[in-house]
């Protein structure tokens, strides 16, 4: 039964792992695919976005013991038929060998047709976010939030939806609520430094300086060259009274004129 389900492109097949894969195997397979197929890396077209949404959906289900147990039960009964394609070039029953790449490797090289489930998810979420963006631009943050909250029940861990909700919440001055939405986006796409940057800036708006500092450090751990994150971190450290931070010292040193080196101070000491 499970073999038949696998050939229809179940979540195990999408991630390229066996049905008895350990949590570590699942996480490793997900991040291997994320490094290669995330829209920010593979291109942000509709095809890439839909493909990664399925990968993400598979990971969110299989990484949760409760959801995985329910999913396995449906697979065994043949009741689960949401995914109608896989990321493999070869049938799921074929074992990977040294000469034959496994499903995770095959997924990198193949452009997949847009799945029906992903098409609906992608279009529904995009349409709601576009509508909420228009409402936010008109200052109607309450209606935007209400629209997105209805979607949240169906797609609770959709990062784009969470970011849109954070925007609407911030527009209503509900900064802590906005931060909670961004925390979920960070959990789902923790390799996306912009999530951490947005979270840090939201904490700044809510004057949660210590949390802002950690979020901005997380952003810089993924993109150490981001100037906005550096600037915000300096401001946070100033608010925390950390005026002698290494970053601030470096900026101050770079602003000094050449040859200034403290000569007057030294000369005064000699006099």
Residues 103-111 have a mean pLDDT of 37
Residue pair 85/115 in contact by the 8 Å Cβ criterion: yes
The span from the CA of 63 to the CA of 266, in Å, is 62
- pLDDT of the residue at 96: 38
More confident residue, 267 or 19: 19
Tell me: do 108 and 129 sit in the same domain. no
The span from the CA of 126 to the CA of 151, in Å, is 11
Positive or negative: CA dihedral 189, 195, 196, 202 = negative
Per-chain mean pLDDT for the chain: 74
**Residue 270 within any structural domain of the chain:** no
- pLDDT of the residue at 59: 83
Tell me: do 197 and 181 sit in the same domain. no
More confident residue, 222 or 266: 222
Model-level pTM? Answer: 0.51
Q: What are the Cα distances from residue 173, in Å, to 11, 19, 202, 205?
A: 39, 46, 10, 9
Residues 50-62 have a mean pLDDT of 81
Q: Mean pLDDT check: name the lowest of 80-89, 149-158, 173-182, 183-192.
A: 80-89
More confident residue, 152 or 236: 236
Domain boundary among 189, 215, 236: 189
- pLDDT of the residue at 126: 84
Residue pair 39/118 in contact by the 8 Å Cβ criterion: no
- The dihedral region occupied by 102, where left means phi > 0, alpha psi between -120 and 50, and beta the remainder, is beta
- pLDDT of the residue at 201: 95
Look up tokens 């939030």; give the residue. 145
Residue pair 103/86 in contact by the 8 Å Cβ criterion: yes
Residue pair 68/79 in contact by the 8 Å Cβ criterion: no
Domain boundary among 161, 189, 217: 189
**Residue 46 within any structural domain of the chain:** yes
Domain that holds residue 128: 116-189
Residues whose CB is less than 8 angstroms from the CB of residue 180 and which lie 6 or more positions away in sequence, other chains included: none
What is the tally of structural domains in the chain? 3
Q: Mean pLDDT check: name the lowest of 73-77, 120-124, 153-157.
A: 120-124
Q: Mean pLDDT check: name the lowest of 145-159, 227-241, 246-260.
A: 246-260
Tell me: do 142 and 201 sit in the same domain. no
Is 90 exceeded by the pLDDT of residue 229?
yes
Question: Domain holding 147: CATH number?
Answer: 1.25.40.10
Positive or negative: CA dihedral 32, 35, 39, 42 = negative
Tell me: do 36 and 76 sit in the same domain. yes
Residue pair 82/115 in contact by the 8 Å Cβ criterion: no
CA 257 to chain centre: 42
Q: How confident is the model at residue 208 (pLDDT cuts 50, 70, 90)?
A: very high
Tell me: do 11 and 110 sit in the same domain. yes
> Helix, strand, coil: what percent of the chain each, to 5?
70, 0, 30
């Amino acid at each position: 039964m499970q073999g038949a389900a696998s050939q229809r492109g179940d979540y195990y097949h999408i991630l390229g792992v066996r049905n008895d894969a350990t949590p570590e195997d699942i996480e490793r397979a997900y991040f291997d695919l994320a490094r290669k197929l995330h829209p920010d890396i593979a291109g942000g077209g509709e095809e890439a976005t839909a493909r990664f949404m399925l990968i993400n959906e598979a990971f969110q289900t299989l990484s949760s013991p409760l959801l995985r147990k329910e999913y396995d039960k449906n697979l065994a009964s043949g009741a689960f038929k949401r995914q109608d394609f896989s990321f493999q070039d070869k049938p799921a029953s074929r074992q990977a060998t040294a000469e034959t790449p496994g499903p995770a490797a095959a997924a990198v090289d193949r452009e997949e047709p847009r799945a029906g489930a992903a098409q609906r998810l992608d279009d529904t979420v995009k349409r709601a976010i576009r509508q909420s963006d228009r409402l936010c631009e008109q200052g109607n943050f309450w209606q935007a939030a209400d629209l997105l909250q209805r979607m949240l029940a169906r797609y609770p861990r959709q990062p784009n939806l969470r970011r849109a909700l954070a925007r609407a919440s911030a527009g209503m001055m509900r900064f802590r609520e906005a931060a909670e939405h961004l925390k979920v986006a960070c959990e789902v796409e923790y390799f996306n430094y912009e999530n951490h940057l947005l979270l840090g800036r939201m904490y700044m708006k809510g004057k949660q300086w210590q949390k802002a500092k950690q979020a901005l450090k997380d952003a810089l751990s993924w993109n150490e060259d981001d100037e906005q994150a550096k600037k915000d971190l300096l401001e946070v450290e100033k608010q925390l009274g950390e005026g002698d931070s290494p970053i601030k010292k470096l900026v101050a040193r770079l602003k000094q004129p050449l040859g200034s080196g403290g000569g007057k101070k030294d000369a005064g000491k000699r006099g």
